[in-house]
Structure 1
Amino acid sequence: MRLVLIRHGETDSNLSGALDTAWPGRPLNATGREQAVALVDKFHKLVGSAPQRLACSFILRTRQTAEPLAQAFNIPVQVDPDLREVRAGALEMSTTLEDTREYLDTAIGWVTGDLERRMPGAESGAETLARFDRGIARLCAGLEDDPEATVAVVIHGAIMRVWGANRIEGLTLDLLAQFPCQNCSLTLATGSPTAGWKAELWSDRHLEDWPVVPGGKPRTSKEAREHLESVLLS
């Protein structure tokens, strides 16, 4: 089966750098709403077939992003709290460099195996992965043996990187650190919750198309976008 992971559209918190992870969260801004509408054509182009199921977290921005897909494919949206973002806990809505670094350092620790490390006032890596695993298992239930089945889920940037690095073959730390997933981008994996997943696309591009440098410098989403544009235009 195929699993399509979609990051939500842009919000003002993305622009300000706020650690916005609690309910309901900031809504999509004008750019984010345009991205959500354009997502339908992108899904047709990159995935091809319509999804049998569509899910999102209970945070407002993922529900708003999922709505155009639900209308286009005439399927309901399954709202699942277990699919929420990596919780910021005591760091919620902070924009300071210190707190942002602590949030990212904790998430990177989970990617590199320190799953008992806890986000201040929130979950450990093991707890975060376990509840997201539950959400994905519910989304895929009954379809695991169907190689033609496609399910899609609208989620968040940090959980996509943390869960993807731990559960999807091919999503390396270098790739995820140097090229964070962009708003309203698609990541495609094949497999199942029991057999495991293998990546085909990351943030709209095939894995082999990313100019990853082993041990290269991590980038923000904006830096990654600007770097990719410079590579493509060079």
Structure 2
Amino acid sequence: MHSIKDIYLIRHGETDYNRMGVVQGSGIDADLNALGQQQAQAFFQHYQDLPLDKIYTSALKRTHQSVNGFIEKGLPWEQHAGLNEISWGIREGRTPNNDDDQYYRNLVRTWREGQVDVPSEEGESPVDVLEKQKPVVELILSRPEERHILIAMHGRAMRVLLTHLFEKPLHDMDTFGHQNLCLYHLQYDYRTQKFNAIKANHTAHLHGLPDCM
């Protein structure tokens, strides 16, 4: 059995919702915008020669579009709803306004204070998201023959996942930064059953593109 698994974990490229500062959770299945497509292409051009064995994405099309270049190469691909973004509840997708902005600030502060089981209104909590992710993580790690994999997912969900992989408290999830089409290069050692970060929130492949959120 191979002892090391390389995991290339990315956040999806920019959507118009990102551009406008609109919260989009699992209930918003938005397309990448023009810049998001450029980010996806730039990432593909930079990493197209990676010896990838499998692509994993969420069930939302913005992650599919972010790795489309690799999918078109004919690489094996699985999508899992367990990798979807958190559901932000009844407010997601709405035009930004002061009431909603304050609601989200208060909610995130509640999570940072340790109450990570508090859900958004008619949505999910970080604990809910982690419970959906755990079976997908177990599945991925049960396949040591897949030595190099690419995972495309979402900002908040990525923060939740990284706390789990690095055995950090869930309320520390905001210590993991991200932006559109950023890369976390992780290695999993089957002997120690530990993850190591090679790159974190890495965006050198986007050099020359406009700044993104």
* TM-score exceeds 0.5: yes
Q: Hey, what's the Cα distance between the residues in 1 that align with 2:200 and 2:114?
A: 21
Structure with greater contact order relative to length (CA < 8 Å, sep ≥ 6): 2
Q: Hey, what's the Cα distance between the residues in 2 that align with 1:191 and 1:33?
A: 30
| 1:22-76 per-position Cα deviation (integer Å, ceiling 9, x unaligned) | 34522111111111111113325xxx7322111111111111112112224x313
List runs of 5+ in structure 2 lacking aligned partners: 205-211
Question: Which of these residues, 178, 197, 205, is aligned with residue 181 of structure 1?
Answer: 178
Does the alignment pair 1:18 with 2:19? no
Q: 1:58–1:81: 8 Å Cα contact kept in structure 2?
A: yes
Structure 1 partner of 2:209 = none
Structure 2 partner of 1:118 = 119
Q: 1:21–1:85: 8 Å Cα contact kept in structure 2?
A: yes
List runs of 5+ in structure 1 lacking aligned partners: 207-220, 223-234
Q: 2:116–2:127: 8 Å Cα contact kept in structure 1?
A: yes
Q: Hey, what's the Cα distance between the residues in 1 that align with 2:163 and 2:70?
A: 26
Letter in 1 for 2:63: T
TM-score by length of 2: 0.78
Question: Which of these residues, 25, 31, 38, is aligned with residue 27 of structure 1?
Answer: 31
Letter in 2 for 1:49: L
- SS of equivalent to 2:78: strand
Q: Hey, what's the Cα distance between the residues in 2 that align with 1:76 and 1:111?
A: 37
Q: 1:169–1:197: 8 Å Cα contact kept in structure 2?
A: no
Q: Hey, what's the Cα distance between the residues in 2 that align with 1:107 and 1:189?
A: 26
Label 1:105 to 1:68 Cα distance change in 2 as closer, same or farther (>3 A): farther
Compare 150-159 and 160-169 and name the one that shifted more: 160-169
| 1:174 Cα deviation after fit | 7.0
Q: Equivalent residues in 2 for 1:165-204 (5 A)?
A: 165-168=163-166, 175-176=175-176, 180-191=177-188, 195-204=193-202
Structure 2 partner of 1:150 = 148
Question: Which of these residues, 23, 40, 46, is aligned with residue 42 of structure 1?
Answer: 46
Question: Which of these residues, 4, 7, 19, is aligned with residue 3 of structure 1?
Answer: 7
Which is richer in helix? 1
TM-score by length of 1: 0.72
Provide the aligned C-alpha RMSD in A: 3.0
Label 1:42 to 1:204 Cα distance change in 2 as closer, same or farther (>3 A): farther
Q: 2:9–2:185: 8 Å Cα contact kept in structure 1?
A: yes
Structure 2 partner of 1:55 = 56
Letter in 2 for 1:125: P
- SS of equivalent to 2:43: helix
Label 1:68 to 1:205 Cα distance change in 2 as closer, same or farther (>3 A): closer
Compare 54-63 and 187-196 and name the one that shifted more: 187-196
Label 1:49 to 1:105 Cα distance change in 2 as closer, same or farther (>3 A): farther
Structure 2 partner of 1:79 = 79
